[in-house]
Chains A and B, each alone.
Chain A
Amino acid sequence: MSWLTDPAGEFADLTRAEQGVTLFVVAFAIYLLFGLLRGTLDPTYFMFLLGLASMYALLSLGLNSQWGFTGLINFSVAAFFGIGAYGTALMTASSSPIAGGFNPIVGLVVALVVAAVIAVAIGIPTLRLRADYLAIASLGLAEVIRRIVLNEQGLTNGSAGVRGIPSFFEGWPVLATFPQSMPETTIDPVPGGSVTVAEPVFGIGFTVGQEIVLRTPFWRALLNVSLVFVFLGVSYGVLRRVHRSPWGRVLRTIRADEDLARALGKDTYSFKMQSFVLGSLVMALAGVFYAHLNLYVSPGDLDPITTFYVWVAVILGGSGSNRGALFGGFVVVAIREGTRFLNQISLSLDLGATEVVFSFEGLGGPMRLLLIGLIIVVLMRFRPEGLLPPQRELIWPGTVDEVPEGPDVGVREARGGSDE
């Protein structure tokens, strides 16, 4: 059976949570598609959103490989993101105070190496100790790195930030000039002009089929999205493979009970270090993408709020679950960007003599934090294991042929046993 030949059967095999998430994703995709067709969602902006969501998904994957797999509490997500962004920016940008002008590939490699070195440096003193020490040290590290970036003007341009970062494909054959060389393309979803669907009875009339014009910025955004999809695909593939391996099993043992892993002869310090570096590399990868997406980085990009968005994403998705991390990253971006539109919504009620107008003008920012807070509270109360917790046994593929009985009761779920 597969999704192509028997979608209904596959769907029925999913857990209720998976079904809910699938329906939600499909509905949201349809909604976005609809927005594109109506012309209310600009395709270039849509591509930007997709890139941003994938970037958050990358960060969540990185944190998941530290916290979700191994139980390492890392509060310096934003710092490793910043190291990635600044690493490549300082190597490639025209305004770099140290070594600009290199190919972005060099920037990528340097960013990853620096991230790995810093991860090892912070890991050496803290990973031998109890988990809380890493949490405290990483909190400090995040602030130290932000301050260095802000104050070491000779190294980083300080608060002015680094400008003039080339796009990632600068200097590549074909791809470097791809956005400019693509012709302006006009898409006409409904041939023969626009169609008005439904008369505006309750004020809900709409028109589809306006022409969509794709220009250079769209092609550039498309290229960026392809890049981040490659990053995301590679990271997801690697993490998925190692998560199902004996290596990942040791990490999960450490998360549940480090002493047990030690008693069984595992060098837990080494495993924790590997997991920490791996996660930091994935976070830095997100930073590299960001620098070449935004073409400008500044110390504000290292603000701790990013760290907490990513934590929310991982907890929301279900720690220890890679697809949960992906989903969480997308949801966080949906909330972050979606709340911007709250400003435009106003509701007017005509009560005869008086007219009451509800307006969300200016509420976008506060609503964002409120929504995220609410989600966390509701989640902790009703589904502490997250939306998509790891469901099935993680044994190296191909070595078990029979699926255990009743996989719909996930091992984690069975413990809480609340909604089954």
Chain B
Amino acid sequence: MRDRHEGANMGKENVVLRVENLEKRFGGLVATDDASFEVERGTITGLIGPNGAGKSTIFNLISGFYEPDGGRVEVNGIDVTGRKPYEVADAGLIRTFQTPRKLEGMTVREAMLVGPREQPGESFVKLFTDPEGVASAESANLAEAQRILEEFEIDHLATQPATDISGGQMKLVELARAMLADPEILLLDEPVAGVNPTLRNDLAEQIRRLNEQGTTFCIIEHDMEFVMKLADPVVVLNQGNVLMEGPPEAVQSDERVIDAYLGGDA
């Protein structure tokens, strides 16, 4: 019941991502209904909710993959509502996908090198007018990719075909590649779905390490244990709207959340 939705804490300081009254309808289906929340710099904010709560839709709206029917999205104080995904990325927000995207015909380090933004070598003209600049940028990016792969302890995969590694390793590579884009805030869509427990711990550790080094995270995750261990605060979505926000303990013991998950009063 809507009147039990208390919404998110909207009074935060130093906000990286602000979502206000976001709306999205697919025909008659309301996927996101007046959703508002904020992600504070330096946090790992969890975004949970039962199936169909509109988590993935919100990610798609924020990152520019869907155009919202109403509301506003701000990244770093820049209004990116309805902007193209690359413009949202330019504002400092990078996202990953639920199912790992495999880059056919590339090695892992090639796939990593897609990450860095604004590479001079991505301009057709500069390939011919400034080959030295392209080469030095490429060398720098390659070194950076190697460094990040080492930090993630997957540098042994560097020259493997990107299609040959396991799903869990792919998730690590995705996270590593997203870091190459140097984001202010990283949106992770179910980072541990289908990942074995060992790699799951690796991923949690990496996310925590990156967070300590200054990257803000917003994570959708179905694995409660994972998200409750990692995220603070946790935002609960239900029926396209923010049900509540709070520290993991408060969320876990909240009756409305339990009801929402059990479908009690939906």
Q: List the interface of chain A (C-beta within 8 A of B).
A: 241-242, 245-247, 249-250, 252-253, 255-257, 259-268, 274, 278, 320, 389-390, 393-400, 404-405, 409, 411-412, 414-415
Contact = CB atoms under 8 A, between A and B. Distances in A.
Contacts, number: 132
A393 B86 CA distance: 26
The listed residue with most B CB atoms (<10 A of its CB), out of A249, A259, A265, A398, is A265
B101 A252 contact: no
A247 B65 contact: no
B89 A259 contact: no
B210 interface: no
A395 B104 contact: no
Contact of A263 (B85, B158, B162, B163): B85
A241 B181 CA distance: 24
Given A247-B124, A252-B103, A411-B107, A262 B113 contact: no
Contacts of A395: 109-110, 113, 138, 142
Nearest to B111: A253
B124 A411 contact: no
Nearest to B132: A398
B90 interface: yes
A405 B94 contact: no
Contact of B86 (A256, A260, A265, A320): A265
Given A242-B127, A263-B89, A404-B107, A396 B121 contact: yes
B135 interface: yes
Contact of A246 (B94, B105, B121): B121
Nearest to B115: A264
Interface in B76-124: 84-86, 89-90, 94-97, 101-107, 109-110, 113-115, 117, 119-124
B114 A261 contact: yes
Given A249-B113, A253-B114, A395-B110, A265 B97 contact: no
Nearest to A405: B159
B102 A256 contact: yes
B65 A259 contact: yes
Contacts of A398: 135
Nearest to A261: B114
Contacts of A249: 106, 110, 113-114
Given A265-B117, A395-B142, A399-B138, A260 B97 contact: yes
B139 interface: yes
B188 to A, nearest CB: 12
B55 interface: no
Contacts of B137: 246
Nearest 10 Cβ contacts at the A-B interface:
A265-B89, A404-B159, A246-B121, A262-B85, A396-B138, A411-B161, A260-B101, A257-B101, A246-B119, A399-B138
Contacts of A267: 84, 86
Given A252-B105, A263-B85, A393 B164 contact: no
Q: Name the residue in B109, B134, B138, B163 with the highest tally of chain A Cβ atoms < 10 Å from its Cβ.
A: B138
B259 to A, nearest CB: 34
A2 to B, nearest CB: 23
Contacts of B105: 252, 256, 320, 389-390, 411-412
Nearest to A390: B105
Given A264-B181, A393-B159, A411-B163, A399 B139 contact: yes
Nearest to A398: B135
Contact of B107 (A242, A260, A393): A393
Given A265-B90, A411-B161, A415-B163, A399 B127 contact: no
A371 B181 CA distance: 49
B177 interface: yes
Nearest to B114: A253
Contacts of A265: 85-86, 89-90, 94, 117, 181
B57 interface: no
B93 to A, nearest CB: 9
A412 B104 contact: yes
A253 B103 contact: yes
Contacts of B127: 241-242, 245, 247
Interface string B20-59: 0000000000000000000000000000000000000000
B216 interface: no
A417 to B, nearest CB: 9
Given A257-B102, A265-B86, A395-B110, 12 more contacts: A253-B114, A260-B97, A260-B103, A262-B85, A263-B97, A265-B89, A265-B90, A267-B84, A393-B107, A394-B110, A397-B135, A409-B161
Contacts of B110: 249, 393-395
Contacts of A242: 124, 127
A283 B50 CA distance: 53
Contact of B177 (A264, A396, A405, A414): A264
A245 B64 CA distance: 27
A400 B158 CA distance: 12
Nearest to B120: A246
Contacts of B85: 262-263, 265
B238 interface: no
